[in-house]
Amino acid sequence: MNDSKEYTLSEIIDIYSLQDIQDKFSKMTNLSAVTVDRFGTPITAPSNFTKFCNLLRTTKEGYRRCSNCDAEGGLKSMLLKKPIVYTCHAGLTDLTAPIIVNNVYLGAMLCGQVVIEEHKTRSLVNLKKLSIELDIPIEDLKAALNEIKSIKRNKIIDSADFLSMFANYIAEMGVANVTHAELLKETKEKMKFQQLVKDTQIKSIQSQVNPHFLFNTLNTIAGMALMEDSEKTAELIYSLSDILRYSIKNSEDMVEIGVELENIQKYLFIQITRYSDKLSYDIKIPDKILKYKIPSMTLQPLIENAIIHGLEPQNNPGKINVVGEILPDKSVLIKITDNGVGMSKEKLDMLLGSINSSGNSGGIGLKIVQDRLVYYFGDEFGIKIESSPHSGTTVYVKVPPIY
């Protein structure tokens, strides 16, 4: 089996998706950004690069200095195993976040090309020296420098932490997906490894967050950053960061229902911010149930499914109710109900058939949840669905009382 040290970033990461995330990050923070491999070679197109930095890179010596500076920044962050903020060779402020998987350095995400507002670092840029050494007219440099944005230092620090979380989440997800694909290929003719494949598949599933939700959230954050002060935007970013950290935490396969609900509330906070007064929710779970355990990331896909397929298509305000109870046989039942568009009997039957089939024909999020619950607890547990047109949908999740 290949180890992560044999992978390159381009092998484990979908570059198109990475470029999309990088572009949205750059738009959200007003910072320039680029992703490089372990050798400092860019694997994405630059996002929002400043006129000043592009001007420096038009000369051979300027390009060499900028490339060396990027490589040194990535190396320092790799050695420290954390994001760092530093001053580039030209006097601008940059930051870099290392991409490290299993203690192996794969590359880095670099951004910045700004000046620090409090420290007035614009004055540190020696235009005369740069003009002489790089053979660039000083008036061109001065005009380009005047367009450089001033950023508060605390925003740079927050951006570095957020960038680090994103970079490593993407890499961890990529390694999990590649490992999963290789296991499937190797065990196709070796039935004795079937259980190993199933375990690996489950761990791979835990590292994934629906890109539909991720990208829409980033758009929401970017829009808010332009319209208001940063306090609420920061709260959104922190909630999203917590969700991503939770989703990739593989040290425990089972979590307390209370912990799962904390993650759900952060997810719903983001969605309510996005939909404004069109979405509300109510959670009523008895305290005793909160200590019982379920596989992590069981409830979030069900709530996300209710929003996307139940509430989004309608114009009326939507609501999600989460209710829990202990049944006479001591098992736990959690009901997730939405007042959305619902579905016809034919569509419901088709969905239930795909969830309970051995293939992946449809309802993949629900099927993943069902397969995991049956895998952990047996055929008598799992999800059931009730729905009718214009009357909403209810998903029942039944699990045993496990502490």
Closest CA to 172 of 7, 32, 353: 7
Question: What's the average model confidence in pLDDT over 253-266?
Answer: 91
State the pLDDT at residue 284.
96
**Least confident stretch, 78-87, 352-361, 371-380:** 352-361
What is 316-351 written as a DSSP string?
S-EEEEEEEEE-TTS-EEEEEEE-S----HHHHHHH
Mean pLDDT of the chain: 80
State the pLDDT at residue 157.
81
Percent of the chain exceeding pLDDT 90 equals 31
Task: Give the span between the Cα atoms of 81 and 269, in whole angstroms.
Answer: 31
272 pLDDT more than 70:
yes
CATH 3.30.565.10 boundaries in the chain: 282-403
Task: Give the span between the Cα atoms of 261 and 264, in whole angstroms.
Answer: 5
Closest CA to 3 of 167, 182, 166, 164: 182
Confidence of residue 193 (pLDDT cuts 50, 70, 90): very low
State the pLDDT at residue 155.
83
- Both ends of the chain: CA-CA distance in Å? 35
State the pLDDT at residue 82.
83
Question: What's the average model confidence in pLDDT over 196-202?
Answer: 51
SS3 27: helix
Confidence of residue 273 (pLDDT cuts 50, 70, 90): confident
State the pLDDT at residue 37.
82
Task: Give the span between the Cα atoms of 322 and 336, in whole angstroms.
Answer: 5
Percent of the chain exceeding pLDDT 70 equals 75
Task: Give the span between the Cα atoms of 2 and 12, in whole angstroms.
Answer: 12
Residue 385 near residue 395 (C-beta atoms within 8 A): yes
Question: What's the average model confidence in pLDDT over 343-363?
Answer: 76
**Least confident stretch, 139-143, 158-162, 221-225, 261-265:** 221-225
Residues 123-142 have pLDDT tens digits of 778 999 999 999 999 999 99
Using the structure block, give the residue that is written with the tokens 């209810």.
Answer: 394
13 pLDDT more than 90:
no
State the pLDDT at residue 227.
61
State the pLDDT at residue 207.
45
- Annotation: CATH topology of 282-403: Heat Shock Protein 90 (3.30.565)
State the pLDDT at residue 80.
86
Task: Give the span between the Cα atoms of 38 and 40, in whole angstroms.
Answer: 6
Confidence of residue 250 (pLDDT cuts 50, 70, 90): very low
317 pLDDT more than 80:
yes
Residues 80-117 have pLDDT tens digits of 888 888 989 999 999 888 887 777 777 888 888 888 87
CATH 3.30.450 boundaries in the chain: 4-171
State the pLDDT at residue 185.
55
187 pLDDT more than 50:
no
- Annotation: CATH topology of 4-171: Beta-Lactamase (3.30.450)
Residue 169 near residue 244 (C-beta atoms within 8 A): yes
| Residues in contact with 255: Cβ distance below 8 Å, sequence separation at least 6, in sequence order | 293, 294, 295, 296
Question: What's the average model confidence in pLDDT over 339-366?
Answer: 78
State the pLDDT at residue 209.
47
State the pLDDT at residue 7.
64
197 pLDDT more than 60:
no
State the pLDDT at residue 2.
43
